[in-house]
Amino acid sequence: MKPLKPDQLRRMTISELEQELDKLRHEQYRLRVQRSVRQLKDTAARRTIRRNIARILTILNEKRSGMQ
């Protein structure tokens, strides 16, 4: 999983950002389950997904408050 670029996220609509957020949260859940059963191989993926979720939430808040 690669980090998402803020410029790329700002070009997306609110509905696209919400869909991406749902996808990342599902992936985060899947990795959490893998970790609990000791099958997780890529431990850095959890950190990357958590940060991507934070980036999306930040951009969503900017768009909703009218900053852009």
What domains can you pick out in the chain, each with its CATH number? 6-65 (1.10.287)
Cα torsion angle, 42, 47, 50, 52, sign: negative
CA angle (1, 46, 34) in 5-degree steps: 105
- 62 pLDDT tier (thresholds 50, 70, 90): very high
pLDDT surpassing 90 at residue 66: no
pLDDT surpassing 70 at residue 16: yes
pLDDT at 49: 97
Average pLDDT, the chain: 94
Q: Is residue 12 within 8 Å of 60, Cβ to Cβ?
A: no
Between the CA of residue 36 and those of 29, 41, 66, what are the distances in Å? Answer: 11, 12, 40
